[in-house]
A and B are shown apart, each in its own frame.
Chain A
């Protein structure tokens, strides 16, 4: 595997890929170090009264399940965001910002296949959350029941 050509000022080769759970904990903590004080989304975590130390292991489980991938997360990722959305609407702008911070944090710490996976999968989930919450002024189930055939 040859490294991508280094651009000026970039320390590509110095950044390792995500290898183990501890890496994910570092990533998650650093992400929240930014997110909690962010002018666009910081207040949302306050509204949710998030307990960071309680939340970090859950988040690390989530990312471990996706990125390593070693199953650990056995909860419901979407539901808490629905609850928060009911308190304070989560908008596309919020999700964009979340994602920008996440991608930046990943890039600051890591480079490689798993780092790319962490960004790509976050994008999928953020997009799904945002789209669904945007259509969510009504109850969850809006599928029409097909006529019996």
Chain B
């Protein structure tokens, strides 16, 4: 399982979640070159350790565990995963 960043992040990209993630699995970070090219941040489903730290940090309640992503945001599960398949690393 992993956590997922959902629609409320769009255009917000507050990055509080990046600061609290103990395994640095939320990208792009503000100092990464593609930060401006993305409307939201993404959690790496392979790296996420389900610690829940980002949920509390998020000012717009955008983050949920994967199995609790509301119906209308289901596409964000794939949107998060897809970012990390682009070979961004």
Residues of A bordering B, CB below 8 Å: 62, 65-66, 69, 71, 73-79, 121, 124-125, 127-129, 131-132, 140-141, 143-146, 148
CB-defined interface of B58-70 with A at 8 Å, one 1/0 digit per residue?
0001001100101
Q: Give every chain A residue within 8 A of B12 (Cβ-Cβ).
A: none
Closest chain B CB from A43 CB (angstroms): 24
Question: Do B53 and A128 touch across chains, with their CB atoms under 8 A apart?
Answer: yes
How close is A28's CB to chain B, nearest CB, in angstroms?
A: 16
Q: Which of B34-50 contact A (CB under 8 A)?
A: 46-47, 49-50
On whether A132 and B55 interact (CB within 8 A), knowing A76-B50, A143-B61, the answer reads yes
Say whether, besides A65-B23, A143-B61, A128 and B1 are in contact (CB < 8 Å): no
The contact string, 1 if C-beta is below 8 Å from chain A, for chain B 65-89, is 1001010100000000000000000
Shortest 6 CB-CB distances between A and B: which pairs?
A128-B53, A76-B50, A78-B52, A121-B22, A143-B61, A77-B51
Q: Is the CB of A76 within 8 A of B53?
A: no
10 A-B pairs with C-beta separation under 8 A: A66-B23, A73-B49, A77-B49, A77-B51, A128-B54, A128-B56, A132-B56, A143-B8, A143-B61, A145-B70
A contact residues around B23 at 8 Å (CB): 65-66, 69
Give the total of B residues in contact with A, Cβ under 8 Å.
24
CA distance A142 to B6 in the complex (A): 14
Distance between A120 CB and nearest chain B CB, rounded to angstroms: 9
Between A76, A127, A129, A144, the greatest number of chain B beta carbons within 10 A of the residue's beta carbon is seen for A76
* B7 interface contact, C-beta 8 A: yes
In the assembled complex, which residues on chain A have CB atoms less than 8 Å from the CB atom of B47?
A: 71
Chain A's nearest CB lies how many Å from the CB of B73?
9
The answer, among A73, A76, A146, for a CB contact under 8 Å with B1, is: A76
Known: A143-B61, A146-B8. Contact between A78 and B68, CB under 8 A? no
Query: B52: which A residues are within 8 A, CB to CB?
Result: 77-78, 128-129, 132
Shortest distance from the beta carbon of A109 to any chain B beta carbon, whole Å: 20
CB distance from B48 to the nearest CB of A (A): 9
B55 contacts across to A, CB distance below 8 A: 128, 132
Q: Name the one of B1, B7, B49 contacting A65, with C-beta atoms under 8 angstroms.
A: B49
Residue of A at shortest CB range from B6? A143
